Structure 1
Amino acid sequence: MTPWRWAGLAAVVAIACFSTWKVEAWRYDKQLADLNASHQADLAAISTAAADRVRQVLEKQQAAQKILADHDAKATKEKAHALAENERLRADVAASDRQLRIAGRCSANSSNLSDTTKTASLDDGGTVELTGAAGWAVLDIRAGIIKDRAALRGLQAYIEEVCR
């Protein structure tokens, strides 16, 4: 074979290799483009699902906050009403318009009484009238009970509505 034939054969082989390489490159480019499009579609689907989930969680949180605010407003109103009533009672006790009395009963068989007291006559079912300061103390205790009950009712309502 002549050198020109070798050169021609080498050129044909080189062109064939280059053509094959180029065709494979185009094919790989198309596969990569398809994979990229598929990847982008997957990312868009994941992003949409995540955004929907975040929106659902935010809506649920906002609904829970609204329920909590409604219960808080109701409990605050009830507590304020009860405390206002307690303050009216306190003012009446302070002005001597009302007197605070405690009904009581002592049993002659009580282990808290001394032997001499047991033999003396006891007034069953009587009342004890409290001084103004003692009445205030009782009403202070009552105000604390009102606040505690209001807080418990609010927590119970919150648990029933939001935490279910």
Structure 2
Amino acid sequence: MNKILIAALISLSVGAGTAWWIEGMRWDTDVADLKLNHTTAMKAISDKALADTETHISTMKAFQKRLAELDKQHSEDLANAQAENNRMRDDVIAGTRRVRIATANLATCQLTKSEDSTTGSVGDGTTVELSQAAGRNILDIRSGIINDQAKLRYLQDYARSIQQKN
């Protein structure tokens, strides 16, 4: 009877060991499948994030390029306007140019006609000629206005480009 009991215990032990080994292999397969699924999901997430990042970077580069173009355009416009204003200011200082202001009738907001219009004149409004110092001051004020308008145009274009980006 001992032999049968020993044989039964050995058979039971071998069966339990085999079952344990088979179950371990099944668990290893399940864990490998879970790792593969996890790796695949993480790669998909990473690829999506990379694509989104590249899209965002290209959008930002296009936006920065547009802003650089705006900046260049407005800087050139401002430099040209300032150069023209400086040229006129230098001409006023040198005496080759004078600053005149057209007079207007304040009651009607119409230019007044010259009292001494000649037949060759078209009868435009009279003008008041300013001194050199006053002319320089007017051109300095004009320069400030040009700067302010250029800044305003730049900021408006910047705001428009931000709005178009979104």
Q: TM-score per shorter chain, which class?
A: 0.7 to 0.9
- Tell me if structure 2 keeps the 8 A contact 1:75–1:150: yes
Corresponding residue of 1:112: none
Give, in angstroms, the shift of residue 155 of structure 1: 2.2
| Per-residue deviation, residues 121-164 of structure 1 (Å, max 9, x unmatched) | xxxx7544332222222211111111121122222223333431
- For 1:163 and 1:143, the matched residues in 2 are separated by 30
1:146 aligns with 2:146: yes
What SS is found at the alignment partner of 2:101? strand
1:95 is matched with 94
Deviation by residue 1:12-68 (Cα, 9 ceiling, x = unmatched): 111111111110110010011111111111111111111100000010001011111
**What does the per-residue CA deviation read over 1:93-137, in whole Å, with 9 as the maximum and x for residues that have no partner?**
1011122123334669xxxxxxxxxxxxxxxx7544332222222
Structure 1 spans left out of the alignment, 5+ residues: 109-124
| Identical amino acids, percent of aligned pairs | 37
Greater RCO, CA 8 A, separation 6+: 1
RMSD: 1.9
Q: Structure 1 length as normaliser, TM-score? A: 0.81
For normalisation by structure 2, the TM-score amounts to 0.80
Matches within 5 A, 1:54-133: 54-105=53-104, 127-133=127-133
| In structure 1, distance between residues paired with 2:16 and 2:145 | 94
Which sits farther off after the overlay, 63-72 or 148-157? 148-157
Distance (whole Å) between structure 2 residues aligned to residue 105 and residue 153 of structure 1: 30
Matches within 5 A, 1:13-92: 13-92=12-91
Count of matched residue pairs: 147
CA distance in 2, matches of 1:8, 1:138: 119
Q: Which amino acid aligns with 1:143?
A: S
The alpha-carbon deviation at position 4 of structure 1 amounts to 2.8
Alignment match, 2:155: 155
Counterpart-to-counterpart distance in 1, 2:35 and 2:74: 57
Is the 1:67–1:162 contact (alpha carbons within 8 Å) kept by the matching residues of 2?
Answer: no
- Measured in 2, the distance between the counterparts of 1:26 and 1:40 equals 21
Q: Distance in 2 between matches of 1:155 and 1:99?
A: 34
Quote the Cα distance in structure 2 between the aligned partners of 1:147 and 1:107.
Answer: 29
Structure 2 partner of 1:122? none
Amino acid at match of 1:97: T
Q: Which runs of 5+ in 2 are unaligned?
A: 108-124
